[in-house]
Chains A and B, each alone.
Chain A
């Protein structure tokens, strides 16, 4: 593999981590969705480039799935949910941005140290993909932990799944059946969470999940 191929793959995978940080940085919901769509586009580009480098046509399917579902369908649907819930002006953070960013840097450093140590005899591109994928996954988890709003938590969950796809790409792709079933399970999870959102909203008049902590069940 030439120098340029590796550099471009590095660029896209690094871009994915950077966009994860942008997700952490955004505190407005619409901007969050736009950045999430951007992350899906970067992911699709990264997967498509590795399909080209590895000469693995089935990875193009993965890229197309990422582009259609993650970059178009889910952001548009979330946009409509936010508009219907009327929460597009809400700004929320449990932890403020500065400490979150520092925690994120720590997680990225951790995943680099772990992954680069563990995978010493793997293929360079796979090692790099695994290191970046673990950081994207951890950043998605961090996003779910630091947010109150259920919509941001969904976005965190979806960005976590983007990291999984990147990891799978590094291992030259999963079997196509697994690929498609993962994509659809994410979509179904999205539908379930979307329904749940409206239920939470109906019950508590808010999508702040802190309301759930105080809820003790029906007292009779």
Chain B
């Protein structure tokens, strides 16, 4: 019990500390691939510290919602990120680490972000909010399809038992799991506002989605929102690693050595994921906003197809 609590706390701290590093790493990879030097790996931490020290500037007509939202967004995202097993499955709250609960937490965060985007009443906030809502309505059904596929395969939506199932030899070669993986990567790209959907590095008015919503934020509010965005990226990578590549994950009652081993494996997985994301982002161009429905529709279709194939192989 005490040990589980220690592991849970360690994981909460770990995701918080690693998230900006992952963002910095992806930026570095992208810069190096473009033969630029790129900012140092620790730059996101410095940005956050700088923002935390700065004073908050509020619009005159900003309501209480605008001030509360950053804390809510950050809290829900942090909770969701610390529920996903990263280096070991023996978490104190693993009974509540349900995939649907995690989706609901992220949905709550997004809801408040959209509200905050519309709160001040600038046109950019409105554009960003409506686009974000559009992406969400397309991404969430696809995500649910993926969850259903995986849950039918493993017989559980709980992440630790899911990882256990994927580690066991009973999995075999599953087409459905492969389709779900591709669909999850597509949904993750859309949810994290990465390049074919949205460019996180631009403030060009016609294309921005996420940045348009947070345009009015400053100081510690902005720091919290940026940290929440970094946490979300880390969350999706941990989710993919935990569900599809759970090798090296420490079992519930493992000793310190196994936990450290799981930690090393987790770092390697994150580095590989970050590198692949950077590579992918340099290779593709951003889509037109109205093509997003096709991109996410393809993800939804992959999820559905995976489920249909699962029914075929089950009924034989």
A interface residues (Cβ-Cβ under 8 A, vs B): 3-4, 7-8, 10-11, 14-15, 17-18, 21, 25, 97-98, 101, 104-105, 108-109, 112, 116, 124, 127-128, 131-132
Q: Name the residue on A nearest B293 (C-beta).
A: A98
Closest CB in chain B relative to A140 CB, distance in Å: 16
Number of A-B contacts (CB under 8 A): 56
Interface size class of B (residues with CB under 8 A): 20 to 34
> At the interface, is chain B mostly helix, strand, loop or mixed?
helix
- Residues on A with C-beta less than 8 A from B305 are 14, 17-18, 21, 105, 108
| Given known A-B contacts A17-B305, A108-B305, A108-B308, A7 and B172 have beta carbons under 8 A apart | yes
> At the interface, is chain A mostly helix, strand, loop or mixed?
helix
CA gap between A132 and B175 in the complex, in Å: 13
User: 1/0 contact trace for B201-232 toward A, CB 8 Å?
Assistant: 00000000000000000000000000000000
A25 close to B298 (CB less than 8 A): yes
CA gap between A90 and B293 in the complex, in Å: 22
- Residues on A with C-beta less than 8 A from B308 are 105, 108-109, 112
Indicate which residue in B297, B301, B309 contacts A14 across the interface (CB closer than 8 Å). B309
CA gap between A172 and B265 in the complex, in Å: 45
Question: Does B243 have its Cβ within 8 Å of any Cβ on chain A?
Answer: no
A98 close to B297 (CB less than 8 A): yes
A116 close to B315 (CB less than 8 A): yes
B172 close to A105 (CB less than 8 A): no
| Given known A-B contacts A8-B173, A11-B173, A21 and B316 have beta carbons under 8 A apart | no
- Residues on A with C-beta less than 8 A from B298 are 25, 101
Known pairs A14-B309, A18-B179, A97-B297. 11 more at Cβ < 8 A? Answer: A3-B172, A10-B173, A11-B173, A98-B297, A101-B297, A101-B298, A108-B308, A112-B308, A112-B312, A116-B312, A124-B316
